[in-house]
Structure 1
Amino acid sequence: MFVTASHPSHRDPLRVAIVGTGAIARVSHLPALTALAAGRPLEIVAAVDVDADSVEAFCAEGGIAHPYTDLDRMLAEQRPGLVTLATPPRFHRDQTVAALRAGAWVWCEKPPCPSLADFDAIEAAEGPEGEGPFAAIVFQQRFGSGPQHVRDLLARQALGRPLVAHCQTTWYRDEAYYSAPWRGRWSSEGGGPAMGHGIHQMDLLLDLLGPWSEIRAMAGRLVHDVETEDVSTALVRFESGAMATVVNSVLSPDEVSRIRIDCERATVELTHLYGHRNADWRITPAPGVPSDQAEAWQDFGTDVPSSHQAQLTGLLEDMRAGRRPRSSGADGRKSLELVTALYKAAFTGATVRAGDIGPGDPYYRALHGGATGWAPQPLEHGAEVTA
């Protein structure tokens, strides 16, 4: 294998750049990369932010040599093999495409991008299968020992067929949260709780249960004066025949993230908030299940919590092998497609089926679909919205 930005040498350190130096970069991206650099040939060579003071402070704190305020200049001068994006969703398409065209793989924070059209443009900029570069989405909830164990039990049908599921992201965001002018707007936040909050649990549900076939939904603005919704509910049927309820809310003082799957031989339940470990999973056998089988199901192995580091570990292995990573391509698109279908079902009152939303559909290019009462209203003459 030759050495390029897409194919780093096994001897040379992988050159990594972080784009966006806000909270998620400081709390998650930088610590994960720093931890992995301790045992791997990996070097964080640069960071980028339009705020010069922020990026310079970030680099000083993280021991990063090169701060930039221009992404294209950084890509040309530093030629990173991996770019991690911790920027708002409205920038993801252009920044990802720029990095891919420069030969870098990309690891992009959720929400992936504001529309399926944007996602498909990103896929079109990727390299060939078996080589790359590829762009993966940060969906860390599906990584770690807990999801891996449950995914294996379901795949080999140890628990019987999945029948009924519940996916819940009920969080609380007050008026102070929405005081930032970019929040609650389709163009800048990308969507309401279905897109910006619940997509993690919905992605995990899809990862465990497989492809969905149809969805019906409702959405509302019950408290907050925003463009997007602040609560949604949905009914989802999977190709397997299993049926699920999905609730996404920012109106819930008792915050919880939960997935429950009732199978023929057991119920699997995960209860947590922003991340989980083995102790957060519970498997309850059905009456009549032999005790030795039920006990074996409880063995989750060494505890590997869900985290950015857990996902990044696998991504780095995929990079070295030149193979497409999980949560990229069709595997990354499926969660955005389900969220898009939820909005279409909620705003039109129609049942939406998997694969229905393509070029020519208004929801393909905007999650609000131009729906009356939901699409952004034109600004009055002379009015401004600051980001």
Structure 2
Amino acid sequence: MEHILNPGFESKPPRHQQTRLDELDVGIIHVPAERKNPIYRVRKLRIIIVPVSIMFLTKDKDSVDSSIRYCGVDLLRSTTHLTDTESVDGAFRKICQKPNKIIHNVQMIRKIMSEIDVVKGLKHVWERIEVASSKRPINLQKCKPRLVAVSKTKPKELIIDSYNAGQRHFGENYVQELILEKCPEICWHFIGLLQRNKVNKIVSAPNLYLVETVESEKVASSLNTAWLKSRKADEKLRVMVQVNTSGEEEKNGCSPAEVASLVKFVLENCKSLEFVGIMTIGKYGYDTSQGLNPDFLSLVQVREEVCKSLGLCAAQVELSMGMSDDFEQAIELGSTNVRVGSSIFGYREKKPSTKITEKITEGIHNVKV
């Protein structure tokens, strides 16, 4: 972590505040993207991400829970990484707030959420997908990428609004069944960690379209058994194999070298599953201006190896890669499935005001962890 923004500090914080972030009730963080997992080990702090370029830490459990109930803001615990946030812009995560005002008030957050325009956010993302698709090689332009709106923890009203605007595929860690009545054609993509003890609950979810996070033979077998028990014999569950192309320890997924073997296992031993592709998450904070994302290039190569090894054609192996910060480059490289959250559910009209950005440097102090 590079900085703590706290207008209350008039000088460099005392040493105990530099080394014990759990002493801080509230802080605003400014995180350079090149730092690996900058708050991975921050203890005893709850982390709220409001998907409108505002981020803060708080120990106030009541306000956190209330904020989630009212607004659906993302709650990431101390062992979870900051990913897919609207605040990411190139090499930096831009954090801003009004000076001397701590944003932990539920009403304040509700006001912020009310400014989010999901329909315009969707339209903007669709337009960007069209432009990126036009830059693909001619042989790939016929296949339009699928947009998966990552709606996890978002208010049901925002999901329903995006559904009514024409969006059908949504990414979730769990299925919000109450939405199904108003969104009968919704297609759920499970994109969270697939735990074997929760497989039965996942496969029983109505409108489950695809599980994107199969990372081992044990998980595949559990899914296969659970699906066979809960569904018709001729109805298969679509699955993707998750690949950890970056080799980062905190990420899930099998290694690139293990993919062909796992895909073969699914094809030969999991008759209730339909293998449809491979998925990866690009390296956190990668600056696309530095060149092609190596994780995307790696996934393309993995597909070539899988196809060659198992006698499959490229059309049988989808590529799920690309999120809010990098989906355009992923599409240009052949992605058929992009997962976008903050650019949709955190979209706000940009206002021609520079007051906030002028204040962002006030009260910034170096803090080493």
Which is bigger in relative contact order (C-alpha 8 A, separation at least 6)? Answer: 2
Q: Quick check: TM above 0.5?
A: no
- 1 or 2, which has the higher strand percentage? 1
TM-score (normalised: structure 2): 0.28
